[in-house]
Structures are given as C-alpha cells and as structure tokens.
Amino acid sequence: MSVKIRLARRGRRKMAIYDVVVADARAPRDGRFIEKIGSYNPNTNPASININNERALKWLLNGAQPTDTVKAMLSYRGVMLKKHLQIGVLKGAITQEQADAKFEAWLSEKDTKIAGKAEGITAAKADLRKKALDAETAKNQARLDAIKAREDEQKALLAAAEAANNPAPVVEEEVAAEEEAPVAEAETPVAKEETPAKEEAPEAKAPAAEEKAPEAGEDEAKS
C-alpha cells in the first residue's frame, strides 16, 4: 500500500484550514486517513504550521511520500533535515550527538529568522497604519481648509452685496459736506458788511464845500 502525507481541507468558504494527514494514496483528498499529524492555516501572516515532528519523521523513515506542499512545510519545520541527519546516523557517518547538535543549531537559527520576520511584519503593519492615519488626517485638514475658504468667500460676497444695497452712509457724508459749505459762504457776507467803514472817506471832502462857501459870501459882498 502506498502511503502519502498530504493536506485535507476543512473550514468554511474562503477561510480554508488544512489538516496534515497520513493517508492511503488511493483515498479521496478529504476522505479517510490513517493519522493526523498536524495542521496548516494559510490565513495568518506568516502562515501557521503545526506538525508533530517525531511522528512525521517516523512516517518518512517508514517510506511515506509527502506531497510537494507538505514537503515544503516539513522542510520549513526541519523535519527533512532531521531525516537526512538520522539516515547519516543509521549509516554510521555521524553520531547521534552530532546529529542532534547540528539540528539544534539549525533550529535556533531558524527560530531567530522567524522571529525577525514576525517583527518585520508587525513593524510594516504599524507603518502602514501610521501612513493611513496621516493620509486621513491630511485629507480631513484639506477638507476643513476648503470649507473655511468657502465660508470666507461667502462672507466676502455677502459684505459686498450689503455694501452695494446700502450706500446710505456715503450719501449722508456727502450731504453733510454740502451742508457745511453754505455755512462757510454765509459767513463771508458778514465780513463784507463790515467794510463800508472804509467808504466813509468821501465825507472828508466837506471842507472843500465849506471853503467855497466864503467865496459865495464874497460874491454877495461884492454885489
């Protein structure tokens, strides 16, 4: 019997979750299986892979063939490397202690990379959130500025319309200026009436008449 390690789909529509199962190659994808050894959730970032490494290694050593997708996940979890090291131990190329030390070193490095990737994803999400917030703030400020500019323009138009419809203050000033002008003109005749004092000068000619009077008396004497 040919045995495969593959995925079996479950979960609701557009939110699929997969089980990692060991099943007969002739069985349907979501049909009967021999053993469930893990799960795979592609809806998270990074994807969640939970596999029982010991059980997966046992089935690999017993001849089970993983599908391409499952093989990639097993390599990601280090199961394929552990299988390679275990075969070296069985052949006497290395000891079990050396194989375990190599696997632990690889696992530590892998965990560091995974943690760095998770931190990078978190930082990227925070950066995107901040950029989105800044863009929304700028958009709201632009909208407020546009509203304020529109209100200022409407106020200016209303002020211009009121000034055009109510020119009364300007007319009152002109009337007041016109009323002040006659007062100034009326004051000038008064000043002119005081000048006749200078016209009394001809009265000073009276002595000339008086001087002629004796001449008339003289004429009477002569007569």
Q: What mean pLDDT comes out for the span 116-139?
A: 86
pLDDT for residue 212 is more than 80: no
pLDDT of residue 10: 87
What dihedral do alpha carbons 90, 91, 96, 97 form, nearest 10°? -170
Under DSSP, the state recorded for 10 is E
Question: Is the pLDDT score of 9 beyond 60?
Answer: yes
Q: How far apart are CA 171 and CA 167, in angstroms?
A: 7
For 3-70, which CATH class?
Answer: alpha beta
pLDDT of residue 180: 60
CA gap 111, 22 in Å, rounded: 26
Query: In whole angstroms, what is the distance from residue 103 CA to residue 70 CA?
Result: 20
Q: Rounded to an integer, what distance in angstroms lies between the CA atom of residue 172 and that of residue 186?
A: 22
pLDDT, tens digit (0-9, with 9 covering 90-100), for 63-74: 899 999 999 999
Burial 53-83 (b: 16+ CB within 10 A, else e): bebbbebbeeebebeeebeebbeebbbbbbb
- pLDDT number for residue 6: 93
pLDDT of residue 178: 61
Average pLDDT estimate for 119-142: 88
Mean pLDDT (the chain, rounded): 78
Is residue 3 within 8 Å of 25, Cβ to Cβ?
yes
* 185 or 131, which is more confident: 131
Domain boundaries, the chain: 3-70
Quick one: tokens of 206?
């009276």
Please provide the DSSP assignment of 137-183 as one string: HHHHHHHHHHHHHHHHHHHHHHHHHHHHH--HHHHHHHHHHHHHHHH
pTM: predicted TM-score of the whole model, two decimal places: 0.53
- Residue 69 CA to chain centroid, in angstroms? 42
Output the pLDDT for position 176: 56
pLDDT at 2: 86
User: What are the tens digits of pLDDT across the range 141-194?
Assistant: 999 999 999 998 888 888 888 888 876 555 555 555 566 655 445 454 444 445
The pLDDT tens digits for 32-89 are 899 999 999 998 877 888 999 999 999 999 889 999 999 999 998 889 998 999 889 8
Task: Using CB atoms within 10 Å of the CB of residue 85, give its burial: 0 to 12 exposed, 13 to 18 middle, 19+ buried.
Answer: buried
- More confident: 112 or 7: 7
